Each structure stands twice: as structure tokens, then as C-alpha cells.
């Protein structure tokens, strides 16, 4: 897959996932954006009164996919087969790819290949109406929370790779405030609803403690 680069602003890695206008989830997304604007991230991640937890998790998962997509899109030119031959988050953590469908046995691959696999895999699930229903009245499957947990666990790995391998470039691009805010929002969200196992967060635990004030 080749990506076209023009100005930095249009370096999107994957097409943005849009929530249909007029849907309840679109209203929830607007609510999330408004509370985020207050600057209080702990408050922004809380389930709004009377809302369905699955819908709230779905809307935020789509939002994190879009955010990570955009953040990774700014550094794709630095994340290459030669610069990042393995998908890692520092020397102690390496990730192998498997989707349980096309690739059943975990394979070793470069970071750009892994992230391409990962984002395509997430995108396919977000587009699946049986898993992420966007129409009012269509119930979420029983397996939804487990599916969302796997998606968020894997999206975390993109943050971890960016922080460990590309933070210098993020600083050069003056994107660090954007990255830190996005990651802090992600961490508060997954902690609020216990969506990612603490062991999975280990590659960035020091940063998480710093950002969340647990020092």
C-alpha cells in the first residue's frame, strides 16, 4: 500500500471513520467533543447520564481510531521498513501480528506493516454493522465489550510505538501536546471502564503515571 504525501495536514494514513449524522451516536459524539472542550479529561470520559455503555464505548473507540490514525499519519515517512524493521515499544516489547482470520499464527513484521494490518483490521470491525451498529434500536452483540477491549488494546500499541520510537520526530513536528492530550484521554477512558489490562500498558507505565498524576 502506498500513501500519498502532500502538505502535512493531508497525510491521513487511513480514511477517517465517520459516524452518521442524525444518529444518536452522532449526538453522543458532539457531547463528547463539548465535554472535552472543558479541559477536564476525567469528566469527559464518564458515561453521560442515562446513556448506554456500549454506545459510549463504540463512539469513543471510533474517535480514538481517528485520532491515532491522524497522529500516526504525521510520522509515517519516518516509520519505514528500514527504520522500524520490527513492531516494538522499546527494547523489551515486541508485537507479533495475528488477526485470527487471515493470519492465525502470529507473524513478525515491520512496524509500518503491523500498523497497516492493525488499522485495516480495526476499520473492518468499525464498518461491521453487526458489531458496531449505528442505527437506533439495533442492539449491540453480547461479544461487543470483548471486541472493543481487543481493539483498544491493539490501538494502544500504536501509541506505544510512536512514543518509544518516534517521539523525537513528534517534537520536531511540534505535535507532542496533541499526542500527549490524545494519549491521556485514551488512558482515562480505558481506566474508567477497565477496558485494557494493566499488563498491556506496561511499555508506557511511567508516562501513564506521570500523565494521570500517580507519581
Spell out the SS3 assignment of 182-204: HHHHHHHHHHHCCCCCHHHHHHH
Residue span of the structural domain in which 56 resides: 20-212
Q: Is residue 11 part of a domain?
A: no
Q: Return d(Cα 158, Cα 121) in angstroms, integer.
A: 13
Helices (H) and strands (E) in the chain, counts: 7, 0
What percent of the chain stands above pLDDT 90?
68
Quick check: is 67 in a domain?
yes
What are the pLDDT digits (tens) for 26-47? 677 776 766 666 567 888 899 9
pLDDT at res. 36: 64
Q: Dihedral sign, CA of 77, 90, 95, 123?
A: negative
Residues 42-58: tens digit of each pLDDT: 888 999 999 899 999 99
pLDDT (average), residues 2-8: 34
Residue at 45 is within a domain: yes
Residue 82 lies in a domain: yes
Residues 170-204: tens digit of each pLDDT: 999 999 999 999 999 999 999 999 999 999 999 99
C-alpha cell at 206: 511511567
Q: Which residues of 38-61 are buried (b: 16+ CB within 10 A; e: fewer)?
A: eeebeebbeeeeeeeebbbbbbbb
Residue 161 assigned as binding residue:
yes
User: Does any domain span residue 7?
Assistant: no
**Can you tell me the distance from the alpha carbon of 87 to that of 129, in angstroms, rounded to the nearest whole number?**
30
Looking up residue 68, the CATH number of its domain turns out to be: 1.20.140.30
Annotation-wise, does 84 bind a ligand?
A: yes
Q: State the pLDDT at residue 99.
A: 83
Is 109 known to sit in a ligand binding site? no
Examine the pLDDT at 2 and tell me if it is beyond 50.
no
pLDDT at 1 over 50: no
User: Can you tell me the mean pLDDT for 122-145?
Assistant: 90
Residue 10 has pLDDT above 50, yes or no: no
Structural domains counted in the chain = 1
Determine the Cα–Cα distance for residues 71 and 66; give it in Å rounded to an integer.
9
**pLDDT computed for residue 192 by the predictor:** 95
Q: Measured between alpha carbons, how far is 123 from 108 in angstroms, rounded to an integer?
A: 21
Decide: helix, strand or coil at residue 163.
helix
Domain-embedded: residue 3 = no
> How far is Cα 86 from Cα 32, in angstroms, rounded to an integer?
35
| Predicted pLDDT of residue 193 | 96
Q: Does 178 appear as a known binding residue?
A: no
> What is the per-residue pLDDT for 37?
60
pLDDT at residue 41 in the model: 84
The lowest-confidence range among 90-94, 134-138, 200-204 is 134-138
Contact 67, 159 (CB under 8 A): no
Winning range, highest mean pLDDT, from 19-23, 35-39, 55-59, 136-140? 55-59
pLDDT score, position 142: 94
Helix (H, G, I), strand (E, B) or coil at 46: coil
Please give the pLDDT value at position 18.
74
Per-residue pLDDT at 103 exceeds 70: yes
| Averaged pLDDT, 77-91 | 95
Does residue 12 lie in a domain region? no
Amino acid at each position: 500500500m502506498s500513501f500519498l504525501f502532500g502538505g502535512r495536514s493531508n497525510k491521513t494514513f487511513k480514511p477517517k471513520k465517520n459516524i452518521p449524522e442524525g444518529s444518536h451516536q452522532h449526538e453522543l459524539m458532539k457531547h463528547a467533543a463539548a465535554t472535552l472542550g472543558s479541559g477536564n479529561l476525567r469528566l469527559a470520559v464518564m458515561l453521560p447520564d442515562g446513556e448506554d455503555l456500549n454506545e459510549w464505548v463504540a463512539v469513543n473507540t471510533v474517535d480514538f481510531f481517528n485520532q491515532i490514525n491522524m497522529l500516526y499519519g504525521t510520522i509515517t515517512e519516518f516509520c519505514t521498513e528500514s527504520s522500524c524493521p520490527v513492531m516494538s515499544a522499546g527494547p523489551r516489547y515486541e508485537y507479533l501480528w495475528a488477526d485470527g482470520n487471515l493470519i492465525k499464527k502470529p507473524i513478525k513484521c515491520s512496524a509500518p506493516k503491523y500498523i497497516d494490518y492493525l488499522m485495516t483490521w480495526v476499520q473492518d470491525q468499525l464498518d461491521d454493522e453487526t458489531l458496531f451498529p449505528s442505527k437506533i434500536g439495533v442492539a449491540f452483540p453480547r461479544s461487543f465489550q470483548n471486541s472493543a477491549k481487543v481493539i483498544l488494546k491493539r490501538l494502544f500499541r500504536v501509541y506505544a510505538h510512536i512514543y518509544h520510537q518516534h517521539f523525537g520526530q513528534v517534537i520536531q513536528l511540534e505535535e507532542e501536546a496533541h499526542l500527549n492530550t490524545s494519549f491521556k484521554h485514551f488512558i482515562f477512558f480505558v481506566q474508567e471502564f477497565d477496558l485494557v489490562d494493566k499488563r498491556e500498558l506496561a511499555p508506557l507505565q511511567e508516562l501513564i503515571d506521570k500523565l494521570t498524576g500517580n507519581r
